[in-house]
Amino acid sequence: MKQQLENIKAEAIEEIRKAKDSLKLDEVRVKFLGKKGALTGILRSMGGLSPEERPIIGKLANEIREDIECALEEALKQVKEKEKMARLSLESIDITMPGRNRDIGNLHPITKVLDEIKEIFFGMGFSIAEGPEVELDYYNFEALNIPKNHPARDEQDTFYISDSVVLRTQTSPVQIRTMEKIKPPIRIIAPGRVYRSDAVDATHSPTFHQIEGLVVDKGITMANLYGTLDTFAKKFFGEKTRTRFRPHHFPFTEPSAEMDISCHVCDGKGCRVCKGSGWIEILGSGMVHPDVLRKGRIDPEVYSGFAFGLGLERIVMKKFEIDDIRLFYENDVRFLKQF
């Protein structure tokens, strides 16, 4: 009987070894360990054994059952692992097929760049101010030291609604409106649409965007103006950007300055984009004229300030190398998708 048990074990181990899948293993389990299985048969026939033999054979039978179970378990684990590997390899997909995505739209390139600029100034403590686009002549011109018949009015060809109402030609009227509303310290930017009666072509549009800036406080200096704009230029155009301040004339600032940045295409060496000069003009600025502060009901003997204004379209065009301003207002989706 002992031999019989040993044979069963050997037979079972051999069959387990041969079994290729979990189904076959289960058959083996039934064959040897099942109710009608070989080992079960032996155990049943143990009644015919002597009391001395019974525990010995019983023990051996149990050991063999455990061995077989163990072997089965081990084999099953291996087979399952193999099966899993096989399944995983079958499940391989072509990951180069396109993803399933929702159509997402896009912001207009002008909005994108404006948002970027807003964030930079926001970080420097500037809030966003606004003013009307249909504006009183007073705010657009008079209060900014541009009386009737001033030559600057010819330079900014103006759309008139009536004698005293214009489409604002610049965002600068927001300076006066802001000073009327809040007391210093003032630190704002005022982005918005402006209008000039320029006929439409690749570089001219009768409507475009400007960003005005205004800072008024005690002890504001021209060095603060330069510092602020230099910081802006480096954050927006990159840390390596060099800036150049040049004297200029605006009726509402004194002293006035234009700022150039080193050309980002040629790094200042001179190229087509910067017309060989190495510099690109990006904005006008200056110390707020004392008359303008007075118009904003601020005492120029106590406070000083600076202001600046930059044209957004020009910057966006430089940034993305767009050569025709009309594209901004055509809204062809093939254009809008690119940014």
- Region 276-295 residues binding another protein, contact defined as CB under 8 A: 287, 289-290
Q: Which of residues 60 and 327 has its CB atom nearest to another protein in the complex?
A: 327
Could you say which DSSP state residue 242 is in?
A: -
The span of 16-24, 85-93, 242-250, 265-273 binding another protein (CB under 8 A) equals 242-250
User: Is 240 among the residues that bind another protein (CB under 8 A)?
Assistant: no
- Residue 10 interacts with another protein (CB under 8 A)? no
- Tell me the number of residues near another protein by CB under 8 A: 82
| Residue 247 lies near another protein (rule: CB under 8 A) | yes
- 103 lines the binding site for another protein (CB under 8 A): yes
Least distance between another protein and beta carbon 42 (Å): 53
Going from the C-alpha of 333 to that of each of 104, 215, 316, 330, the distances in angstroms are 13, 39, 18, 9
- Residue among 30, 134, 273, 302 that touches another protein (CB under 8 A): 134
Contact between 329 and another protein per CB under 8 A: yes
Which among 180, 179, 153 has a CA at the least distance from the CA of 166? 153
Cα 181 to Cα 173: distance, rounded to the nearest angstrom: 13
* Amino acid letter, 228: T
Residue 127, interface with another protein (CB under 8 A)? yes
According to the binding rule CB under 8 A, does residue 220 interact with another protein?
A: yes
Q: Which residue has the tokens 């950007």?
A: 241
Length of the chain: 339
Tokens matching residue 282: 């990006």
Figure out which of the listed residues 5, 8, 136, 325 binds another protein, where binding follows CB under 8 A.
Answer: 136
Q: Which stretch binds another protein (CB under 8 A): 22-30, 38-46, 170-178, 211-219?
A: 211-219
Q: Decide whether 85 or 128 has the Cβ nearer to another protein.
A: 128
| Residue 166, phi-psi category: left (phi > 0), alpha (psi -120 to 50), beta (remainder) | beta
Does residue number 223 form part of the binding site for another protein (CB under 8 A)?
Answer: yes
Contact between 338 and another protein per CB under 8 A: no
In the region spanning residues 37 to 96, those forming contacts with another protein, defined by CB under 8 A, are none
Distance CA(239)–CA(233), nearest Å, equals 8
* CA dist., res. 208 & res. 240, Å (int): 29
Among 11, 21, 27, 254, binds another protein (CB under 8 A): 254
**Token pair belonging to 6:** 């040993």
Cβ(207)–Cβ(192) under 8 Å?
A: no
- 170 makes contact with another protein (CB under 8 A): no
Name which of 48 and 151 has its Cβ closer to another protein. Answer: 151
- Return d(Cα 301, Cα 68) in angstroms, integer: 103
Nearer to another protein, 65 or 289 (CB): 289
- Burial (CB count within 10 angstroms: exposed 0-12, middle 13-18, buried 19+), residue 230: middle
Q: Which residue stretch of 8-16, 66-74, 79-87, 100-108 sits at the interface with another protein (rule: CB under 8 A)?
A: 100-108
